[in-house]
A and B are shown apart, each in its own frame.
Chain A
Amino acid sequence: MGIVRSLQHWLGGHGPHLQPAAFVPETHPIRLWADTFPWDAMVQAVAQSFAQRFPKKRPTGGRPSVSLRVLLALELLKHELNASDEDICQRLRTDGAVMYACGLPEVHADHAQAHFVFPETLAQFRGRIDQDLMDTLVAIQAAAAMDAGLVSPAHLLVDTFPAEQGSQRVTDATTLYKAQKNSSTSWNASASSVRFQARA
């Protein structure tokens, strides 16, 4: 499945008409958080980077692509809420604040529709982000905050911190360790069952 294909019925479905901007309170934490991002500049940077690195032209016709604004906001929300791909895509379907953060002006969703965006689409979008683009996005956010007079780079602090690699993708050593542990456990279990049968 290409990155550009996903479910897009929410913009033209037959369900009730919902305007997230009118629905979500102005003091909602996600709304306040989303309003701090310079979305236009960030989406433009992503589109420019993708166009340079993936110049493949799509065939005319077919379903329109998922907006980069939605995918970028979902990826950021995922880290703000510490959620998984599945969780955040499900919340986009049901949570008005997440819809607002994704910049959806209005939604017509059918109740039978389970997803607005598939988690696979989000993973593919993420796979296209490289180091230069990531640096550019952080720089755009910092520049917008400095332009607004909120932060100053005059006095800075530098530090490092370690991050363990992968709780989901284990290391080769972990795999070997677990395999050895499982084999020894199963061997012990089979030995004890043999002893039990012999005693019986």
Chain B
Amino acid sequence: MRGFGRQCRGQGTVFVTLVRRTEKPLLDLGGSLATWAQEAQDLLHQTSHLDEARRGRLLRDLTAASEAHRHITKQSQRLTQGKALSQYKIVKAYDPTIAPIIKGKSNCPAQFGRKTGIVSEPATGFIFANRVPEGNPSDPSSVLPLLDKVQQALDCMASPKRLHVHSLGGDLGVNDPELRHALHTRGMLTIGMPTTVEPINPTPSQQEVRDILTMSGLQRIRTPHQVHLACASGYSRPVVESPIATLMSRGAAHVRYKGLQGAVVQMGMTVMAHNGAVLVRIQQQRLSKRGQKFRRLLGLKRYKSNKINDS
């Protein structure tokens, strides 16, 4: 995961202190909110002079109020820089979906924001799906929702030829046994996810390929050729940093729109703009040698971009 390096030093230290100071009154204020909300809900159920629509609206408001306080309390119990906070942690009083992002930091204060997940093709950097979650969930928890979005794209295809995801690569952050098992169940190879800091072998032997297929239980589903491609894809995993850099050059490093919905719209539009530029590069064959070779191995066509709008 990328970090902002030294840019956030100094000010960030001050901000964390100030945030802790500002959230304490909010938590004090909402301490008895759960009790009040429960009492109000009981009273609301007992009243008979309210119509159904109004009762539903009031119930929704009460639930939202109690949920907001629960969320604030949950955030305040998280960690910063590996140490438990003595007090609380809220970034924005009017937007509780923002969380401090601390992973991948070395001797830097935490920054506040959102953690966007992307699923991209290693050859060209085309992004199939993106996701902007609430708060700062773990990396493995965002993989399956991202794959569901890829499946949504596959379902949107007009072509009768059914495409499938053969393998998924990632960094050490997504190395999770449960996630591997879930991906194997979906018929995906996980050789591209490293278990150590050692690089993945890009050219496995026949015996290693057999071992990979046996361990994942995909002997009859995936072929040795696909294993070789998955290893090559996982070996060149750092190329995923390239689309991230181009997204950031399009302004993805700063969320300028308001709230979670704004972040979703901004990231989605940025991803689509990036994908358009990638398709232009494919059309003009402006790809790296590695990218061109990978595309040849996958059997992809060289030039058909103009037909997107003609069909």
Contacts and interface: CB of A to CB of B under 8 A. Distances in A.
A192 B105 CA distance: 41
B168 A157 contact: yes
B64 interface: no
Interface string B100-121: 0100000000011111111111
Contacts of B163: 146, 152-154
B128 A156 contact: yes
Interface in A145-165: 145-165
Nearest to A159: B240
Contacts of B119: 156-158
A176 B152 contact: no
Interface string B273-311: 101110110111000000000000011110011111101
A143 B149 contact: no
Nearest to A40: B309
Contacts of A131: 261, 264
A121 B228 CA distance: 51
B164 A154 contact: yes
B170 A135 contact: no
B15 to A, nearest CB: 5
B169 A164 contact: no
A95 interface: no
B253 A152 contact: no
B283 A158 contact: no
A158 B18 contact: no
Interface stretch (A9-17, A58-66, A76-84): A76-84
A166 B255 contact: yes
A129 B257 CA distance: 12
Interface string B9-53: 001001110110010000000000000000000000000000000
Contacts of A158: 117-119, 142-143, 146, 168-170, 174, 240
A37 B273 CA distance: 9
Interface stretch (B91-99, B198-206, B207-215): B91-99
Contacts of B166: 154-155
Interface stretch (B54-62, B65-73, B75-83, B229-237): B229-237
B265 interface: yes
Interface in A90-136: 126, 129-131, 134-136
Contacts, number: 300
Closest 8 CB pairs of A and B: A143-B156, A134-B268, A142-B153, A80-B273, A36-B279, A139-B153, A149-B301, A155-B233
A29 B280 contact: yes
B201 to A, nearest CB: 16
Contact of B91 (A35, A143, A171, A177): A171
Nearest to B93: A172
B275 A161 contact: no
Given A76-B276, A156-B168, A165 B15 contact: no
A164 B266 CA distance: 13
19 contacts: A32-B283, A38-B308, A79-B250, A138-B129, A146-B154, A150-B301, A153-B128, A154-B226, A155-B121, A156-B119, A156-B121, A156-B168, A156-B169, A159-B170, A159-B171, A163-B252, A163-B255, A164-B4, A167-B254
Nearest to B121: A151
A91 to B, nearest CB: 15
Contacts of B247: 161
B53 to A, nearest CB: 17
A163 B114 contact: yes
Contact of A165 (B1, B114, B241): B114
A165 B135 CA distance: 12
Given A76-B269, A143-B153, A150-B279, A157 B169 contact: yes
Contacts of B263: 163, 165
A138 B272 contact: yes
A75 B255 CA distance: 15
Given A32-B280, A134-B268, A152-B298, A172 B22 contact: yes
B254 to A, nearest CB: 5
B34 to A, nearest CB: 23
A95 to B, nearest CB: 16
A131 B261 CA distance: 7
B272 A141 contact: yes
A58 B204 CA distance: 64
B170 to A, nearest CB: 5
Interface in B157-201: 157-159, 163-171, 173-174, 192
A197 interface: no
Contact of B264 (A29, A134, A146, A168): A134
